[in-house]
Chains A and B, each alone.
Chain A
C-alpha cells in the first residue's frame, strides 16, 4: 500500500514534444505529490508538487494532472528541450516521508 508505481521506465521524444510520465498510488493517506528531476551525479531537484485537493498545477513548462478518484497523477513537459534530458521521479508523501516511484529516464533529441 506504500508503493508508488511509475511508468514508463524510459522515454524518447523529439525537441518540442510533450513527454508524459504517469504515476499511481494506493494509500489515500498520502497528502502531497512532488516531482523531482535528477541529473547524473546530482541530488534530486524539486520541480513541481501538488496536494490532493487540486486537479492541475502549472509551473512554467511543467504541469501536474491529478486524478484523486483514480489515484493517479502525471507530469507533462511542454515544449521539451534537450536540456530536459534527465531522470524524473514522482513521489507521494505522508508526514515528511517520501515514497518514490522507480524513475523515468527521459531523452529529448534535438
Chain B
C-alpha cells in the first residue's frame, strides 16, 4: 500500500497570505489528523477528521481550518499567515472508528516558511 502523501513538500509564503496544504491518506483509512511541528513547541495536534466531520480540535486559532472530502483526502488552510506559522505540517491517517485509537501513520510533511 502507498503511504500517506502530502503536497506540496515545500512552500514559501509572505505574511498575510493564506495557504492550503493537501493530504492523501493510506487507502482504506478514514481518519486524517493534522499536526504542527516546530523546534520550540514540538509536535502539536491541530485537528482530526473522520467521514468528512471534524471530531477533534487542538488549541490553535481560528485561522487554522481544515476539511475532509468523501474520498478521505484532506486539506488544511491557514489564513492571514504570521511568521510564527513557519513549521513542518504533518498529516497522519488511521483506520479509526469503533471508539478506540488505531495506529496513526504520518506523511513526510509540508515545510512552510513564512517571510
A positions within 8 Å CB-CB of B: 31-32, 34, 36, 42-46, 49, 89, 91, 93-103
Are A95 and B55 also in contact (CB < 8 A) when A43-B90, A89-B43, A103-B42 are?
Answer: yes
Query: Is the pair B42, A102 in contact by a Cβ cutoff of 8 Å?
Result: yes
Count, chain B residues at interface, CB 8 A = 28
Chain A residues within 8 Å of B43, by CB: 44, 89, 91, 98, 100, 103
Q: How far is the CA of A3 from the CA of B42 in the complex (A)?
A: 12
Residue in B closest to A102 when the chains form the complex, CB atoms: B42
The 3 closest A-B pairs by CB, nearest first: A43-B106, A32-B101, A100-B43
Query: Is the pair B56, A96 in contact by a Cβ cutoff of 8 Å?
Result: yes
Which of A31, A43, A44 is the most central at the interface, judged by chain B CB atoms within 10 Å of its CB? A43
The number of A-B residue pairs with CB atoms under 8 Å apart is 66
Q: How far is the CA of A96 from the CA of B100 in the complex (A)?
A: 8
Which of B48, B96, B104, B109 is the most central at the interface, judged by chain A CB atoms within 10 Å of its CB? B104
Chain B residues within 8 Å of A96, by CB: 31, 33, 48, 50, 55-56, 94, 96, 101-102, 104
Chain A residues within 8 Å of B44, by CB: 100
Chain A residues within 8 Å of B103, by CB: 34, 46, 49
Residue in A closest to B3 when the chains form the complex, CB atoms: A43
Give per-residue flags for B86-115: 1 if the beta carbon is below 8 A from chain A beta carbons, else 0.
Answer: 000010101010011111111111000000
Q: How far is the CB of B113 from chain A (nearest CB, A)?
A: 14
Residue in A closest to B6 when the chains form the complex, CB atoms: A43
Known: A32-B102, A43-B107, A95-B99. 5 other contacts (CB 8 A): A32-B101, A44-B90, A46-B104, A96-B55, A97-B45
Q: How far is the CB of B108 from chain A (nearest CB, A)?
A: 5
Chain A residues within 8 Å of B35, by CB: 98, 100
B55-69 at interface with A (beta carbon < 8 Å):
55-56, 58
